[in-house]
A and B are shown apart, each in its own frame.
Chain A
């Protein structure tokens, strides 16, 4: 049955590294979008997920997602990676499959940080993403890619439009509501402090996303090539569409808009990447832009402080992508028949199944995230103090600043005797005139 393929193994080794790179890339994307006083904190929220979620994935997460269990959650067979060895799982070693999936868990948790940036306490955030990976990501992953109810229903999610993006976006909205808006939200302009970082992050995300989508073929074959091509063309169409919309609405093609367009296009093609033709990927990328663009305009005027637009980019993009997968999927390209190819009967059912997958994920992720955050809130405060929020979280949370020049920094030597009292300046009372 399963036989190792050296070519597929080589490709998935590469793809895993590409997907892992997406999380530091996200750190730059998010880091550039916040104010300079929160740059390190925001970047660390993504960066630290590689550590915390990686550990959680190896100890328990992978088992809950992929070991044999019931329709809702996996079992405990693979706890601490017991039984995950070099034997073939599909065309690649089981160990490699587990690692590849782990990089997905990391980026999904990190995505949530965009909704709570600039005010959530770092420790509470880490607790939350650890718990969330186990209680939300692992089960939803099992539903779709393990032996779960959505897989049984026939939901199409090639690389994680629902599992990763809709899932993270639901948690993000709930987290933004539970943690509360930033004190300056709706009262002061909060501008991106480094737009080049945003472009750098979007570029690296795109690069890593080739591993995310084409790697999800789990083989070095034609499906991987199709997903790869679609990962190029859908964001290309989205970027172009976003710039055109920008030109229409504001008269200027913005750089932050271009970066956002790329991300929306990537999110939208994720569930469809291996199921649709490249021509359809152009359509999906372009069609996904409108709803996300509208959502950003609406959101920024609302009281919901989803600071870095996780819901608009990943939620809206993920939902549109999941539904359009049901429209454009073609049996000839490896998917089931969607609306266009299969007609109303078969295609209509596929679109309905896609909608069920999205709704189920939205509801479960939203409710579970709400409970988790409130439980963590009982143990530790979720929010930084108001003073720390004013000063920026970099110093208070991390003891570092993003941009230091070292002026006035005095080296403290660990073995030196504690510095003597500051020499008291004794100013001679030069004739008490005043």
Chain B
């Protein structure tokens, strides 16, 4: 299994969720985050106090997937989150030692979504 962590623009979230659900990724966690990714600085003024916003609002998605699903998840993320401007975000893929589904006690590949990739690729188990 892999843990896919994606940092994306908040305004792309709806498109990204639609793309993920379309390829049957059903389990994910969303967090509001802030980050700096080399975007042009945004200058804001509050009653004469001018500030440079070094951190930009981002969304962090964490998705546990079986190995066979890594590529299609990444493709969906990239396609839906890309605008072409600096600040589109990043995707990190990290190996996962163990996964347990709390409700059933299922472990590892059975506990991530989807257990059976639509393609014939075998998942690790």
Residue of A nearest to B47 (CB): A400
**Per-residue interface assignment for chain B, residues 91 to 115, with 1 indicating a CB less than 8 Å from any chain A CB and 0 otherwise:** 0000000000000000000000000
The yes or no answer to A432 lying at the interface (CB within 8 A) is no
User: B36, A408: Cβ atoms under 8 Å?
Assistant: yes
User: A412, B51: Cβ atoms under 8 Å?
Assistant: yes
Residue of B nearest to A401 (CB): B44
Chain-A contact segment, one of B52-60, B68-76, B117-125: B52-60
Interface residues of A in 311-364 (CB under 8 A from B): none
User: A411, B44: Cβ atoms under 8 Å?
Assistant: no
Q: Is the interface of B mostly helix, strand, loop or mixed?
A: strand
Q: Which residues does chain B contribute within 8 Å of A414, judged by CB atoms?
A: 50
Q: Which residues does chain A contribute within 8 Å of B10, judged by CB atoms?
A: 37
A404 to B53, CA, bound (A): 10
Residue of A401, A404, A409 contacting most chain B CB atoms (<10 Å)? A409
* A138: min CB distance to chain B, Å: 35
User: B44, A395: Cβ atoms under 8 Å?
Assistant: yes
Q: Which residues does chain A contribute within 8 Å of B52, judged by CB atoms?
A: 409-410, 412
A387 to B85, CA, bound (A): 11
Residue of A184, A407, A408 contacting most chain B CB atoms (<10 Å)? A408
Q: Which residues does chain B contribute within 8 Å of A401, judged by CB atoms?
A: 44
* A416: min CB distance to chain B, Å: 11
* A387: min CB distance to chain B, Å: 8
A414 to B44, CA, bound (A): 13
The yes or no answer to B29 lying at the interface (CB within 8 A) is no
User: B55, A407: Cβ atoms under 8 Å?
Assistant: yes
Q: Which residues does chain A contribute within 8 Å of B24, judged by CB atoms?
A: none
User: A400, B36: Cβ atoms under 8 Å?
Assistant: no
Q: Which residues does chain B contribute within 8 Å of A404, judged by CB atoms?
A: 44
The yes or no answer to A429 lying at the interface (CB within 8 A) is no
* B41: min CB distance to chain A, Å: 9
Q: Which residues does chain B contribute within 8 Å of A406, judged by CB atoms?
A: 51
**Per-residue interface assignment for chain A, residues 367 to 399, with 1 indicating a CB less than 8 Å from any chain B CB and 0 otherwise:** 000000000000000000001001110010001
User: B54, A400: Cβ atoms under 8 Å?
Assistant: no
A399 to B41, CA, bound (A): 12
User: A410, B11: Cβ atoms under 8 Å?
Assistant: no
* B56: min CB distance to chain A, Å: 8
A395 to B53, CA, bound (A): 11
The yes or no answer to B31 lying at the interface (CB within 8 A) is no
User: A408, B49: Cβ atoms under 8 Å?
Assistant: no
A205 to B85, CA, bound (A): 43
Interface residues of A in 9-49 (CB under 8 A from B): 37
Per the CB 8 Å criterion, the residue count for chain A at the interface is: 20
Q: A390-B11, A400-B45 are in contact. Are A410 and B51 (CB under 8 A)?
A: yes
User: A410, B44: Cβ atoms under 8 Å?
Assistant: no
Residue of B nearest to A398 (CB): B44
The yes or no answer to B43 lying at the interface (CB within 8 A) is yes
User: A399, B44: Cβ atoms under 8 Å?
Assistant: yes
* A34: min CB distance to chain B, Å: 15
**Per-residue interface assignment for chain A, residues 45 to 60, with 1 indicating a CB less than 8 Å from any chain B CB and 0 otherwise:** 0000000000000000
User: A399, B45: Cβ atoms under 8 Å?
Assistant: yes
A144 to B50, CA, bound (A): 48
Q: A395-B42, A399-B43, A400-B44 are in contact. Are A411 and B51 (CB under 8 A)?
A: yes
A407 to B56, CA, bound (A): 9
The yes or no answer to A188 lying at the interface (CB within 8 A) is yes
Q: A395-B42, A400-B46, A412-B43 are in contact. Are A188 and B54 (CB under 8 A)?
A: no
Residue of A nearest to B83 (CB): A387
* A224: min CB distance to chain B, Å: 40
User: A391, B54: Cβ atoms under 8 Å?
Assistant: no
Residue of B nearest to A392 (CB): B11
User: A407, B43: Cβ atoms under 8 Å?
Assistant: no
User: A411, B45: Cβ atoms under 8 Å?
Assistant: no
Interface residues of A in 164-194 (CB under 8 A from B): 184, 188
User: A391, B36: Cβ atoms under 8 Å?
Assistant: no
Q: What are 6 inter-chain pairs, A to B, with CB distance below 8 A?
A: A188-B14, A392-B11, A400-B45, A401-B44, A406-B51, A412-B52
Interface residues of B (CB under 8 A from A): 10-11, 14, 34, 36, 42-46, 49-55, 83
Interface residues of A (CB under 8 A from B): 37, 184, 188, 387, 390-392, 395, 399-401, 404, 406-412, 414
7 closest A-B pairs by CB: A408-B55, A408-B54, A390-B11, A409-B51, A412-B50, A410-B52, A399-B44
